[in-house]
Amino acid sequence: MKVLTIDSVALKGKRVLVRVDFNVPMTTDLKVADDTRLLESIPTINKILKDGGMAILMSHLGRPKGKPNPEFSLKPVAVRLGQLLKTPVKFSPDCVGSEANQMVQDLQPGECLLLENLRFYEDEEENASSFANELATYGDLYVNDAFGSAHRAHASTEGVTKFIKPCVAGYLMEKEIGFLSKAVANPPRPYVAIVGGAKISGKIDVIQNLLPIVDVLIIGGGMAFTFFAAQDMEIGDSLVEVEKISLARKILDEAKTKKRRLILPYDCVIAKEFENDATRKTVSVSQIPQGWRGLDIGPDSLKIMGMEIKKAKTIVWNGPMGVFEMPNFAHGTFEIAKMLAAATKTGATTIVGGGDSAAAIALAGLEQQVSHVSTGGGASLEFLEGKKLPGVEALDRA
């Protein structure tokens, strides 16, 4: 998918309306707890300021349910962003209205303004035309750099593009589209997809979309037990989605028909309770006793999976291999992260989907050692599922 990017437009003297994703975690005293998303936006903002443009930034934060709420104000974000940019970031106490409009008009080339939380208005999520139109009046052109919100047809991601031209991608959006398109269009082979997480229901579309494309599909995490149940195996008290057993059976049959290798765990770490300090042991997946539940993959599984990862030229990972939030059941997930980092060093393209996978590789301290970590959990998942993202579809084509 080729979209116009920020490099294709003149910025000097222009008011540039930029949709960013500043939906960041905050501390109890309302300071930015994790500035990763701010850092990801810096290249696009710097490009605008250095080229003599004026950056008008807009974002949402949290779920204020369509009403102003100080707990979800973007004001602390403006402070932190200014520190990262090494230049003051002006802040508008509203995202629409006369005060916001005046602040936009008063901006000088090289200056940056952050508007207050878009979701203080129901019109944002409802994609109201009047709201989108008012936002559009602030800019001479529009840049979407918020891939994490691109799967939502909101006023600031889709509606606004009907009232302003040109509409182009920022550097982060361009990078996300580039890596994820490569994963679903024409990936270097062998191509390995690793899909984990608790439930098959949350990943069924991505599994079905990737299965015809990949050479090897590795499945781990809680969802693996639904596949074991589909083979009439004893899984003790492990997580199982009974209503998805027939679907898991269908996927197993499809893998055989399409001659794709589908690898499930060979062994797992089991425990009696869903607690970090619970009694635990490693057993074959065919030997899980009643009263025990699988919470991580075991060493034999890692060995087999590692052999496939080592041979791969393209690797996509979406979903943890176990309950990685508990240190005693994080080993399998962190080992997969290490394997991806090693594969990257030897020339493989490694893409980590957003959400839990991104959190896991960050916890492992390896996010800088893979090709790409997506900033969009739901958006990256929908892209891999083959769905069209409204925020991407609305951008001008190259």
Q: Single out the residue of 146, 144, 143, 120 nearest to residue 131, CA to CA.
A: 120
Mean pLDDT (the chain, rounded): 94
The SS3 assignment for 297 reads strand
Angle among Cα 189, 177, 59 to the nearest 5 degrees reads 150
Q: Single out the residue of 42, 48, 46, 43 nearest to residue 17, CA to CA.
A: 48
Q: How far is CA 112 from CA 35, 126, 137, in A?
A: 18, 27, 17
Render pLDDT for 235-270 as a digit per residue (tens, 0 to 9). Answer: 999 999 999 999 999 999 999 998 899 999 999 999
Pairing of strands 15-19, 261-263: unpaired
> CB burial class (10 A; 0-12, 13-18, 19+) of residue 71?
exposed
Angle among Cα 177, 380, 215 to the nearest 5 degrees reads 90
List 284's β-bridge partners, or say none: 267
CB contact at 8 A, 11 and 47: yes
Render pLDDT for 328-347 as a digit per residue (tens, 0 to 9). Answer: 999 999 999 999 999 999 99
- The region, left, alpha or beta by phi > 0 then psi within -120 to 50, assigned to residue 207 is alpha
Q: Single out the residue of 125, 129, 103 nearest to residue 114, CA to CA.
A: 103
H and E: helices and strands count for the chain: 14, 15
How many Å apart are CA 13 and CA 27, to the nearest integer? 37
Distance of CA 55 to the CA centre of its chain: 25
Q: How far is CA 140 from CA 17, 40, 45, 143, 168, in A?
A: 7, 23, 16, 10, 12
Domains of the chain as residue ranges with CATH: 6-174 (3.40.50.1260), 187-384 (3.40.50.1260)
Measured from the Cβ of residue 98, the count of other Cβ atoms closer than 10 Å reads 8
How many Å apart are CA 267 and CA 245, to the nearest integer? 20
Residues annotated catalytic, as ranges: 37, 199, 355, 378
How many Å apart are CA 38 and CA 184, to the nearest integer? 28
Q: Please give the pLDDT value at position 341.
A: 97
Model confidence pTM above 0.75: yes
Q: Residues 6 or more apart from 268 whose CB is under 8 A from it?
A: 224, 282, 283, 285, 288, 294, 295, 296, 297, 298, 301
Structure-token pair, residue 290: 């009643």
How many Å apart are CA 79 and CA 89, to the nearest integer? 7
Kindly tell me the sign of the dihedral angle through the C-alpha atoms of 172, 173, 174, 175. positive
DSSP string, 80-129: HHHHHHTS--EEES-SSSHHHHHHHHH--TT-EEEE--GGGSHHHHHT-H
Average pLDDT over residues 119-141: 98
Nearest 10 degrees: Cα torsion 366, 367, 371, 377: 140
Q: Please give the pLDDT value at position 47.
A: 98
Structure confidence at residue 354 as a pLDDT band (50, 70, 90): low
Q: Please give the pLDDT value at position 1.
A: 65
Average pLDDT over residues 282-292: 95
How many Å apart are CA 166 and CA 396, to the nearest integer? 7
Structure-token pair, residue 126: 């409802």
Render pLDDT for 26-80 as a digit per residue (tens, 0 to 9). Answer: 999 999 998 889 999 999 999 999 999 999 999 999 999 999 999 999 999 999 9
Helices 356-363 and 331-345, packing angle to 10 deg = 80
Please give the backbone phi and psi of residue 283, each rounded to the nearest 5 degrees, phi first.
-140, 165
% of the chain residues with pLDDT over 70 = 99
The DSSP symbol for 325 reads: T
Q: Residues 6 or more apart from 166 whose CB is under 8 A from it?
A: 4, 9, 141, 142, 396
Q: Please give the pLDDT value at position 201.
A: 85
377 has a pLDDT exceeding 80: no
Average pLDDT over residues 276-284: 96
CB-side neighbour CA atoms (13 Å) of 217: 24
